[in-house]
């Protein structure tokens, strides 16, 4: 492959959502700045997983590349939700130092295209060549690099509005799940409790939610029935659907 | 005001939708390239309304500025829907000529942030200092400049998915409208006929659709009741709503 050139003013940032211990989590990467001279650490903080795009690459391909380099997963749910280009987005002192240390011009305006991704955390490797990544619960995210707190916030908004109309919550669960697990996912994302009877009634209408002839294993309580999401059924039925409730 | 500098690689493009003669239309601007030497016209085609952003400007402000310069309207419905940065988006021969004539480097990659806007066409002036703009029915749009056909296509997708869940169709209608007019707007946007009884039933659930004690004037047929969209009621009620149908 020829030597590819990175574009220096267009980047992608991925808000990778996972669901663990009944919490919505985001995959973040450590950023450490060490003094050239003394090699002592000046600061360590966290950033989203992102990168600049190659000159011969689309932004979608760049986002999938970033996601793959970080998680080893391809073919995951990924959606572009917003572009970020505020004149001050790179102007925090830490970020200026970082950019300069990285040989970049802190005055150069960079537009970052935000994507959010939903993955079932059980099957991903977060250790990779591009630095230490870790899952951080939304509630515990501190001040991130650049404007990444805002990007996370906007990604959550996009996710909340999307999940009300499209069955993407399943992406956060293992292939087989119980209705209680599904309800928890929706409650965690929407940040609100849902009435169980109401939820089950709505679930009942989802032809694409397929009950399996199989139950939970190794649970203390009475094992619940397992379900699967059928993308086929969903794609077939979605065309007929026209909703108006909001 | 100080002399503002335009950023040369970040632009915004607005897909301004209007509703006229039972058709969805888009506001497009004439682009004419004339030979320096002979002053003869080399080509004329159409583009979306767009511009580069100022270095001290957010992309949202840039979009509102473009919209205002073009239509004289502020405070209209405007929504960012997608970023466009394909490596080949400026590579058509016509576009290269245009960029060179414009003193720009056709090899420079430009990312354009797409917005769509819905306006009630009755109250807008499309003549303005920035060239001739005209309403073109979606069905009659030919080959546009750059990747603007794709931007229109993606804007329509975004509009269709949005209108199924949020009452934005009203933005295309005058303040007071009939239920038949409202149904037409939805049919035109969704590109499908809706069952009248079904539609009326759904309408019935919209608390934010306020029947007026007023009827159509100057119509041949039996005048129909007029309705208004109440944003207040919508904002108050939307929080309670949680739909799952798709």
Residue of A nearest to B87 (CA): A56
Contact A111 B246 (CB under 8 A): no
pLDDT beyond 80 at A133: yes
Q: What is the mean pLDDT of residues A66-80?
A: 89
- If phi > 0 it is left, if psi is from -120 to 50 it is alpha, else beta; for residue B72 that is left
In angstroms, the CA B229 to CA B226 distance is: 11
Query: CA of A183 to nearest chain B CA: how many angstroms apart?
Result: 12
Q: What is the mean pLDDT of residues A187-211?
A: 89
In angstroms, the CA A186 to CA A140 distance is: 20
Confidence of residue B129 (pLDDT cuts 50, 70, 90): low
Query: CA of A69 to nearest chain B CA: how many angstroms apart?
Result: 22
Q: What is the ipTM of this complex?
A: 0.89
Residue of A nearest to B55 (CA): A87
In angstroms, the CA B63 to CA B65 distance is: 5
Contact A244 B58 (CB under 8 A): no
Contact B242 A194 (CB under 8 A): yes
- Which of A54, A85, A88, A238 would you mutate first to test chain B, the one with the most B CBs within 10 A? A85
In angstroms, the CA A153 to CA B63 distance is: 22
pLDDT recorded at residue B211? 92
H helix runs in chain B, sequence order? 59-71, 93-101, 148-163, 179-190, 196-205, 231-238
pLDDT beyond 70 at A157: yes
Is residue B70 within 8 A of residue B28, CB to CB? The reply is no
pLDDT recorded at residue A245? 36
Q: Is A58 on the interface with B (CB under 8 A)?
A: yes
pLDDT beyond 80 at A143: yes
Contact B244 A56 (CB under 8 A): no
pTM to 2 decimal places: 0.91
pLDDT beyond 50 at A203: yes
Size of interface A-B (CB pairs under 8 A): 94
Question: In B, which residues are within 8 Å of A165 by CB distance?
Answer: 161, 164-165, 243, 245-246
Which residue carries 């009950």 as its tokens?
Answer: A211
In angstroms, the CA B224 to CA B101 distance is: 55
pLDDT recorded at residue B132? 82
Instruction: Output DSSP code: residue A200.
Output: H
Contact A87 B55 (CB under 8 A): yes
Confidence of residue A244 (pLDDT cuts 50, 70, 90): very low
Contact B87 A56 (CB under 8 A): yes
* Residues B165-202 pLDDT 10s: 888 888 999 999 999 999 999 999 998 899 999 889 88
């Amino acid at each position: 492959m020829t030597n590819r050139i990175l574009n220096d003013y267009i980047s992608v940032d991925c808000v990778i959502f996972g669901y663990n211990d009944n919490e919505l989590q985001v995959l973040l990467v450590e950023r450490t700045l060490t003094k050239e001279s003394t090699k002592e650490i000046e600061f360590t903080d966290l950033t989203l997983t992102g990168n600049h795009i190659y000159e011969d690459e689309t932004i979608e391909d760049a986002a999938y590349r970033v996601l793959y380099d970080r998680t080893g997963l391809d073919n995951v749910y990924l959606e572009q939700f917003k572009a970020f280009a505020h004149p001050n987005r790179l102007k925090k002192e830490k970020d200026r130092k970082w950019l300069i240390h990285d040989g970049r011009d802190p005055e150069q305006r960079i537009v970052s295209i935000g994507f959010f991704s939903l993955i079932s955390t059980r099957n991903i490797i977060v250790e990779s060549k591009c630095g230490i990544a870790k899952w951080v619960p939304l509630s515990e995210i501190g001040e991130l690099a650049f404007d990444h707190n805002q990007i996370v916030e906007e990604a959550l908004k996009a996710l909340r509005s999307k999940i009300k109309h499209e069955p993407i919550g399943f992406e956060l669960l293992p292939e087989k799940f119980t209705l209680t697990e599904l309800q928890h996912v929706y409650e965690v994302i929407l940040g609100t409790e849902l009435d169980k009877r109401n939820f089950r009634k709505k679930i009942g209408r989802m032809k694409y939610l397929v009950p399996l002839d199989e139950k939970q294993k190794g649970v203390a309580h009475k094992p619940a029935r397992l379900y699967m999401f059928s993308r086929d059924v969903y794609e077939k039925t979605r065309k007929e659907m026209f909703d108006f409730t909001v």
